[in-house]
Amino acid sequence: MRYILFVLVLVGCAGDVPTDTNPSTPPPASTPPPTSTPPPTQSGTTPDCSTYCSQIATTCTGANAQYASTAACMATCNKFTVGALTDTSGTTLGCRMYHVNNATKTAMPDVHCNHGGPGGGKIAPIAAGATPDTHCSDACTNFCQLSVSICGTGTDTSKQFTDLNSCLTTCAGWDRTAAYAVAPPVAGNNLACRLYHLTAAAADPATHCSHTGPAATTHCLLGGT
């Protein structure tokens, strides 16, 4: 009888033996979490005229408009030094895009649109001895750089100045009390009128360059557009 009980105890203990015959085997490795996909590279890292002209046309309207047409904007923009989107000053497209973006974000086009336009800042009014608005350089520097690029110098048939320095000297004497505008009539013997016609000359120099110089025919002397 004792023998039978001993056998039964052994059988019962055998049932308690773990089924894992190799306890040193490590558990299966857990599946690593999926690697997150990096965000796509931001597009538009270089200033471009299509983006600039689209945004400035949408944001800067009415009295704050900087170009009379997309064609005038694109043609003028193609004469800008490109620069970088981080520019906050200088005569670059990047600086202008920065300020147009400010006009969009702040909903203050009356403050920022002139900074993003062809003049790089507000032309007028400038009282005697006052500091000009130079967010993207001063208006005469921007005007003259565009003038020699659009209308030429030396023997170019559309030229209005012999070189950049002669333009800067002449521009310094022009009236700057008239605000820049693109809605007709654009008139007056002033910088604002000439800058408007220079943006038109970018697309059609044969017609408009003569409206931008010291003897600017009737457009910026006696009459208007």
Top pLDDT among 28 and 118 is at 118
Residue 150, CA distances (Å) to 31, 86, 210 in order? 64, 26, 12
CA–CA gap between residue 139 and residue 176 (Å, rounded): 10
**SS3 assignment, position 135:** strand
State how far the Cα of 224 lies from the Cα of 91, in Å rounded to an integer: 28
Q: Is 175 helix (H, G, I), strand (E, B) or coil?
A: strand
Model confidence at 13, in pLDDT bands (50, 70, 90)? very low
pLDDT of 37 above 90: no
Q: How far apart are CA 52 and CA 121, in angstroms?
A: 16
**How far apart, in whole angstroms, are the C-alpha atoms of residue 198 and residue 192?**
10
Condensed to tens digits (0 to 9), the pLDDT of residues 100-120 reads 999 999 999 999 999 999 999
71-81 pLDDT, tens digit per residue, is: 999 999 999 99
Alpha-helix runs per DSSP H in 30-172: 49-59, 70-77, 93-106, 109-116, 139-150, 164-171
What does pTM read for this prediction?
0.77
